[in-house]
């Protein structure tokens, strides 16, 4: 086992999701994840406190990118235009590995109540990051919260369409996120 090989964090996430899919979350041990990733258990614990946290690897980066995009949106941007800027910024962190990985991650989460709970907490955190960034722009609380929740829904919808799409297509995640936000904006306008 190579102890200091680069990419250990990513390999651990891939190994964990593969094992969760193959044998279930509860039956998978940290030792098995570390072995599959080609690292030691101590390397695992340098990156993650426990196996639940593998699901939210990158959450802090995603939250930061969403908030940065919102903060850097033009001063005259509407709340949803600022959210669109945040979604576009966050999409830069997602590449072909994320797209290829998505179906396995979805299956692993669907098969485990504990992972579903952790995924729900991740969603709350992402919506909160957008809401907080919007509030920092002076957007009133209820408006910021609604725009943050719409941003989260757009992220989930756009990510699902992108990850389920043609693997050979050159489409980027950002376009799918903005399209999903536009669809949600139109849907909310029809609510009356």
Do 64 and 47 belong together in one domain? no
Can you give the residue range of the structural domain that contains 107?
Answer: 58-189
Give the SS3 label for residue 171: coil
Query: Each residue of 142-174: pLDDT tens digit?
Result: 999 999 999 999 999 999 999 887 766 677 889
Are 41 and 72 found together in one domain?
no
Domain count, the chain: 2
Please tell me the predicted confidence (pLDDT) of residue 167: 65
For residue 14, what is the domain's CATH number? 1.10.10.60
Averaged confidence pLDDT in the chain: 89
- Classify residue 120: in a domain, yes or no: yes
Residue 2 lies in a domain: no
């Amino acid at each position: 086992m190579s102890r200091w090989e680069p990419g250990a964090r990513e390999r651990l996430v891939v190994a964990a999701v593969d094992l969760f899919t193959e044998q279930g979350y509860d039956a998978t041990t940290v030792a098995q994840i570390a072995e599959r990733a080609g690292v030691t258990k101590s390397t695992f614990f340098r990156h993650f406190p426990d196996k639940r946290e593998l699901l939210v690897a990158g959450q802090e980066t995603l939250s930061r990118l969403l908030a940065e995009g919102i903060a850097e949106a033009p001063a005259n941007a509407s709340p949803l235009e600022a959210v669109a800027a945040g979604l576009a910024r966050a999409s830069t962190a997602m590449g072909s590995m994320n797209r290829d990985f998505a179906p396995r991650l979805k299956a692993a989460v669907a098969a485990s109540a504990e992972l579903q709970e952790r995924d729900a907490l991740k969603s709350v955190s992402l919506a909160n990051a957008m809401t907080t960034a919007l509030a920092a722009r002076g957007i009133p609380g209820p408006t910021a919260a609604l725009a943050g929740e719409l941003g989260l829904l757009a992220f989930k919808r756009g990510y699902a369409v992108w990850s389920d799409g043609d693997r050979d297509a050159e489409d980027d995640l950002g376009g799918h996120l903005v399209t999903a936000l536009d669809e949600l904006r139109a849907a909310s306008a029809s609510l009356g």
